[in-house]
Amino acid sequence: MEILVNIIGIFLILFIIWWFWIYKRQSEAQVQGSAVDIIVDAGVYEPAVIRAKSGEEVTLRFIRKDSNPCSEKVLFSDLDISADLPIGTPYELTFTPEEKGEFEFACQMGMYRGTLVVE
């Protein structure tokens, strides 16, 4: 019986690792024409990886559902871009990435994390 409890515990841990570390990294979106919606909720940007093309304007539409003040700001520190996200109202951030590369974006404390991949 104790072994069974241990096995269930191990599966729970594996599930949590998968959910927080593997699953969210697979979600990504390509900017196509207009805008990409990014849901800000429960500690994750969804999708967390955005692909864009250098020299082409992108619009990231942040939809913040998390009322935690932690999720209020989004910072693209490498690109010198930051924004305050209102709750419930989509916030559109439009800019043109000129350089190719991977640019992290995060909340002020770095709990929410995402990557803008410019190709």
Phi, psi of 16, deg, nearest 5: -65, -45
CB nearer to Cu ion: give 70 or 83.
70
State in angstroms the smallest separation of the CB of 48 from Cu ion: 14
Nearest to 45 by CA among 89, 94, 110, 119: 110
CB nearer to Cu ion: give 35 or 75.
75
Coil, helix or strand for 76?
strand
State in angstroms the smallest separation of the CB of 30 from Cu ion: 26
State in angstroms the smallest separation of the CB of 55 from Cu ion: 31
Binding site for Cu ion (CB under 5 A): 70, 107, 109, 111
CB nearer to Cu ion: give 59 or 104.
104
